[in-house]
Amino acid sequence: MRGPEVLAANCEQIIQLAPVSIMRIDAAGIITFVNDWHLANFARGKHDRDYFVGRKLQELPGIVTAGIGGEVRRILAGETIHLEGVYADECSGGQSVYQNIRGIPVMEDGQVQGGIVIREDVTKLVLSQQLLSENQAIFKALLDATRDSILLSDLDGYILVLNEEAARRRGRTVDSLIGASLYSFMPPEQAEARRRHLLEAAASNVIVWYEEHLDDHYYQVSLCPITDENGQVHCIASYSRDITPLKATENQLRREKELAFSASQAKSQFLGNVTHELRTPLNGIIGATQLATQDGTAEDQEELWQIVADSGKRLLSIVNNVLELADIDAAAIEPALTACSVRELLASLARSYSVRARVKSISFATRCDPRIPQELVGDVFRVRQILSNLVDNALKCTACGSIEVRAKRIASARIAFAPQYCTLLFTVRDTGIGIDKALQEKIFEDFELAEHYLTKRVSGAGLGLAIARHLVEMLGGQIWVRSKPGRGSTFYFTVPFALLDYECRDERVVFASGGELFSPEEYTVLLVEDERINRLTTGRTLTRLGYTVLEAINGQEALAVLAREQVDAVLMDIQMPVMDGIECTHHIRNGEVPGLSKRIPVVALTAYASERDRERFLRLGMNDYLAKPHTIDQLAEVLEANLKAT
């Protein structure tokens, strides 16, 4: 063969075997050439060369499903195109693919005679990049899903990695803190303590725990050494949890326990003892098994210990549910109304469950009706507890598909005072195993399971839905389910919320009793309440009733007001910071406030609502008791009755 013929033959072989699809089209877009690599890879041997030659390129499945017919026309118009990562649902071989496409017009005497189209299969590369991006997103989500401050530093304290909470506490962004010294954001004494503990962890290669006190906050800090492949510690992972509320709660619980211990009944004592006896061994089991699984024991033994640990955690969850149900049956819980945002509630729920759902390859979404006000007044803790129970069940019962949580504002004819309230409908929908119709009424009863499905396929003690029903009914709503076996379930529940701008809209109200006219304008009432929303609404109501209103946010401030102002009655909240209502009442009854009669009417204004609580507050020196939430009439009546008795 002559030189040009050899060169032509070599070029033909290169074109045929090049690891890309190469096609030539004429000026009408009709394929005149296709290489062997396209037949073997894009067509997967399902079509021969005759199938392609003579057909329009725009009609091929890989071009049609990618939606790039217009790009082919650009080539025929004389333009060079270059597209990356184009997705096609179906190619000639039936497979989906990501492709890089380059199109070059063929010109002759200034006229387009056709074009060369080169398509590269980059599916593996794109999927690898997507997997890397997802893993990075999961890692970041795991770091940011916690309220703990998490950061990784070298042995000199320079920050390498940190989460959003760590940056928030320091008033900076994550990027701006990379490479900064963690000691530069701490007072000298605390910085020296952190440096000492960090070096201790690095030297001993064991986790170091200690408490840190910064700016009126208490933190539980754990420093975990990270070793390289040679076992040498090269950096430290620091975890810091804000335990300030826990400290305050411990102190409050200690005071409440001391005050109520003598009045506790045998049932509550028994329940407390049982709780202690159950939690202690469970804590020992879980702690011991965690240590065992970290010792690097034999694989089968580690698996058995892990089973024991999981079983212990499951048992603890069951015990907590049993105790919650016992509290409900004993009427020991009641709504705690605060200002809240439904949008923030759904966002928090998404942060808590999206990672768990993603691990199971389940999509998790939340949707909020735009008609819902930005802020409402309700028991957001119990609403979240209800949603968490329902979402936990959905995750257990759903192997693939999706879970969706929605909040919608609806009209309710059941609520006579609708102008001051709005009713929300929450739905939790899953694509799980579903529930048989005959069992849908039973699953909300205590200890009941949907036996044919939930019992055999999903673990559970039958308490979550029962607790959800009790809580919904306590909040004044209803709960129900619609489901078909094999097609998923949708749980619905309604909850009424108060509008944040609620206030008494009536004109001046005068209450009379026994023919004697009572005039609130003659009296001054001290309102002692730490919650701003409660103080605002109750204060406005008192003003509308005609009273002169003074305010204090805790017991200590109330004593100061009583010492300098003339007050006729006190509305006293029970749980408050600095000094609670019971201790403040004790000081008043002992005559410790100069110029104040120790017989002044003190009315307990509290969320404790049982008759047992009422008797306890009267025994501790209060004149009367008004439970939250209360009506305007109830507030007016209790004040009138106590002021007339003085």
Average pLDDT estimate for 227-253:
88
Is position 255 within any domain?
no
Band the pLDDT of 452: cuts 50, 70, 90. Answer: very low
- CATH code (residue 288): 1.10.287.130
137-153 pLDDT, tens per residue?
A: 787 787 788 888 889 89
Amino acid at residue number 5: E
Q: Which pLDDT band holds residue 286 (cuts at 50, 70, 90)? A: low
DSSP symbol at 452:
I
pLDDT digits (tens, 9 = 90+) for 203-219: 999 999 988 888 888 89
Range of the domain at 572: 520-645
User: Is the residue at 292 inside a domain?
Assistant: yes
SS3 39: helix
494/480 Cα distance (integer angstroms): 9
- 417 and 495 fall within a common domain: yes
- Cα distance between residue 199 and residue 137, in whole Å: 32
Q: Which residue has the tokens 């950061």?
A: 151
User: What are 200's two structure tokens?
Assistant: 């201790």
- Indicate the SS3 state at residue 87: strand
Best CA proximity match to 339, nearest among 69, 609, 536: 536
Is 569 in contact with 543 (CB distance < 8 Å)? no
Residue 173 in any domain: the answer is yes
- 253 within a domain of the structure (yes/no): no
Which residues lie closer than 8 Å to 11 by C-beta, 6 or more apart?
none
In this structure, are strands 362-368 and 233-242 parallel, antiparallel, or unpaired?
unpaired
Final residue of a domain: which of 104, 127, 150? 127
Question: 10 Å Cβ neighbour count for 220?
Answer: 15
- CA-closest candidate to residue 51, choices 39, 63, 68, 42: 39
Q: Retrieve residue 553's tokens.
A: 């946010």
pLDDT of residue 506: 36
- pTM for the model stands at 0.35
* Buried/exposed code over 599-625 (b: 16+ C-beta within 10 A; e: otherwise): ebbbbbbbbbbeebbbebbeebebbbb
Beta strands 362-368; 401-410: pairing state: parallel
Instruction: Give the pLDDT score at 311.
Output: 56
- Nearest alpha carbon to residue 246 among 210, 217, 271: 217
Q: Are residues 440 and 524 in the same domain?
A: no
Reference 496, options 601, 409, 390; nearest CA is: 409
Do both 112 and 76 map to the same domain?
yes
Give me the number of domains the chain comprises.
5
**Shared domain check, 575 and 594:** yes
pLDDT of the residue at 312 = 63
10-23 mean pLDDT: 82
Percent over 70 (pLDDT), the chain: 79
Question: What is the average per-residue pLDDT within 530-552?
Answer: 89
Sequence letter at residue 95: Q
Yes or no: say if 626 and 639 are a contact pair by the CB < 8 Å rule.
Answer: no
Q: Are residues 157 and 92 in the same domain?
A: no
> What whole-number distance in Å separates Cα of residue 582 and Cα of residue 257?
13
Q: E strands, 546-589, where?
A: 548-552, 569-572
- Asked whether residue 510 is assigned to any structural domain, the reply reads no
- Collapsing DSSP to helix, strand or coil, 79 comes out as coil
Q: Show which of 92, 111, 127 is a domain's final residue.
A: 127
Query: Domain check: are 229 and 82 in the same one?
Result: no
Mean pLDDT for 65-80 is 89
Q: Provide mean pLDDT across the span 468-488.
A: 88
Is residue 578 scored above 60 in pLDDT? yes
**At 619, which CATH number?**
3.40.50.2300
Is 415 among the domain residues?
A: yes
Residue 429 pLDDT exceeds 90: yes
Say how far apart CA 23 and CA 12 lie, in whole Å. 13
Domain with residue 96: its CATH number is 3.30.450.20
Assign residue 440 the CATH number of its domain.
Answer: 3.30.565.10
| Residue 509 placed within a domain | no
Same domain, 325 and 342: no
Domain boundary among 439, 464, 499: 499
**Lookup: tokens for 338:** 């605060």
Q: Could you tell me if 150 and 59 lie in one domain?
A: no
Q: Where are the alpha helices (DSSP H) in 264-379?
A: 266-293, 299-329, 342-359
Structure tokens at 89: 């649902």
- Residue 629 preceded by cis peptide, ω within 30: yes
First-last CA distance in the chain: 126
- What distances in angstroms separate CA 222 from CA 139, 236, 238, one per listed residue? 20, 10, 6
pLDDT by residue (tens digit) across 246-277? 888 888 888 777 766 544 443 444 444 445 44
351 & 469 share domain: yes
Distance of CA 483 to the CA centre of its chain: 25
Instruction: Clarify whether residues 306 and 164 are in a common domain.
Output: no
Residue 362 and residue 480 in one domain = yes
Look at residue 259 and tell me if it is in a domain.
Answer: no
324, 343: one domain: no
